[in-house]
């Protein structure tokens, strides 16, 4: 029997210390109940890959969890935990009233090749920490034996964050750690922060008037000035004003210049008073529009999970 589908659905992608890749969901009609072997055939033009495999009853090896923590309207849940060979895998769900931009800040993943040793990979990880410093703030696992481990990979869902207009936003992903020792019976998952995008405000600035103070709703920042860079581009320097509000204002979410279909943005904001820069094409007069704010809900957000 041959079952066909025309195109797979991108379900998620994963990034870890050991590999980077994507996962596609393949949905076929049901197989006969007595089938015990099958072969997956994937074609791309003249190229074909064949993967034989066996079929058998599935075993559930994950433990459902109900751990939950809430702060400033953001809810973080740990919904399941499982061991997979030498890794501990935790299913997380984050729910928020605005679009979820980022959950913690793991160090960027360096690709691992077949000849990369464990020692080389550890050295690369240490170098990433040195370069990114405080900008690297991964999710941590603290077990009841006093051992701490940072996340080593994620499997991130590609489903839309918002099911329908007016509903809350939700992000689901798996986070992986090196498995704790067998003596550990429980652990605490520590999420350092959650960042949100709130696009309900905007403000326009004439760069000829810089320096000037601007407001996006209740959040204040300063345009220090602009300088030419590249071809018809301007690098705009910004400075965020100190604030004790929570969630904490980090930066404008987007900046538009002369091209309405293109915007500049920063992957992360620095501490109050640090100069940030955004680059975009501007017209004459040199007008830019800042849209939305990036808000950070600071942790630590702690979730207790069993390991037994």
Q: Cα(283)–Cα(57) distance, rounded to whole angstroms?
A: 64
Residue 7 is predicted with a pLDDT of: 54
The answer, yes or no, to whether the previous bond of 60 is cis (omega within 30 of 0) is no
Name the DSSP letter for residue 117.
Answer: -
Beta bridge partners of 250: none
Token pair for 98 = 């605005």
Q: Which range has the worst mean pLDDT, 24-38, 75-89, 147-161, 184-198? A: 24-38
Please report where in the chains the tokens 């004459």 appear, as a residue: 284
The CATH number of the domain covering residues in 62-194+298-306: 2.60.40
Spatial CA neighbour of 220 closest among 307, 277, 293: 293
Give percent of the chain above pLDDT 90. Answer: 45
Output 199 or 83, whichever has higher pLDDT. 199
Q: Cα(179)–Cα(88) distance, rounded to whole angstroms?
A: 5
Please report where in the chains the tokens 């538009």 appear, as a residue: 256
On the question of pLDDT at 5 being above 60, the answer is: no
- CB burial of residue 47 (10 Å; 0-12, 13-18, 19+): exposed
Residue 117 is predicted with a pLDDT of: 75
The mean of the pLDDT values for the chain is 85
Q: What are the helix (H) ranges across the chain? A: 118-132
Residue 175 is predicted with a pLDDT of: 94
Residue 241 is predicted with a pLDDT of: 84
For residues 205 and 214, the answer to whether their CB atoms sit within 8 Å is yes
Mean pLDDT of all residues in 292-298: 95
Q: Which H, E and C letters describe 207-249, residue by residue?
A: HHHCCEEEEECCEEEEEEEEEEECCCEEEEEEEECCCCCCCEE
Residue 17 is predicted with a pLDDT of: 47
Query: 267: pLDDT confidence band, cut at 50, 70 and 90?
Result: confident
For residues 90 and 139, the answer to whether their CB atoms sit within 8 Å is no
Output 18 or 116, whichever has higher pLDDT. 116
Q: Cα(43)–Cα(4) distance, rounded to whole angstroms?
A: 11
Name the DSSP letter for residue 235.
Answer: E
| Domain coordinates in residue numbering, the chain | 9-54, 62-194+298-306, 198-297
On the question of pLDDT at 65 being above 70, the answer is: yes
On the question of pLDDT at 9 being above 60, the answer is: no
On the question of pLDDT at 193 being above 80, the answer is: yes
């Amino acid at each position: 029997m041959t079952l066909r589908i025309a195109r797979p659905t991108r379900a998620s992608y994963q990034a870890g210390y050991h590999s980077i890749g994507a996962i596609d969901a393949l949905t076929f009609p049901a197989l006969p109940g007595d089938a015990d072997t099958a072969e997956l055939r994937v074609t791309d033009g003249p190229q074909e890959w064949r993967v034989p495999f066996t079929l058998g009853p599935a075993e559930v090896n994950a433990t459902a969890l109900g751990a939950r923590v809430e702060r400033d309207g953001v809810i973080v849940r740990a919904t399941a935990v499982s061991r997979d060979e030498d890794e501990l895998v935790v299913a997380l769900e984050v729910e928020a009233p605005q679009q979820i931009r980022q959950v913690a800040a793991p160090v960027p993943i360096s690709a691992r090749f077949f000849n990369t040793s464990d020692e080389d990979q550890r050295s690369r990880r240490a170098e990433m920490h040195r370069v990114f410093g405080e900008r690297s703030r991964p999710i941590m696992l603290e077990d009841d034996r006093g051992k701490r481990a940072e996340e080593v990979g994620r499997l991130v869902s590609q489903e839309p964050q918002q099911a329908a207009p007016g509903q809350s936003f939700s992000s689901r992903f798996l986070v992986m750690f090196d498995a704790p020792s067998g003596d550990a019976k429980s652990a605490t998952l520590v999420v350092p922060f959650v960042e949100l995008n709130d696009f309900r405000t905007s403000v326009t600035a004439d760069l000829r008037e810089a320096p000037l103070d601007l407001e996006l709703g209740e959040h204040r920042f300063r345009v220090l000035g602009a300088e030419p860079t590249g071809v018809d581009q301007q690098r705009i320097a910004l400075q965020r004003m100190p604030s004790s509000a929570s969630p904490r204002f980090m930066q404008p979410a987007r900046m538009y210049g002369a091209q309405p279909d293109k915007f500049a943005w920063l992957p992360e904001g620095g501490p109050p008073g640090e100069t940030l820069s955004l680059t975009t094409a501007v017209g004459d007069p040199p007008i830019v529009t800042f849209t939305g704010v990036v808000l950070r809900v600071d942790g630590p957000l702690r979730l207790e999970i069993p390991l037994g």
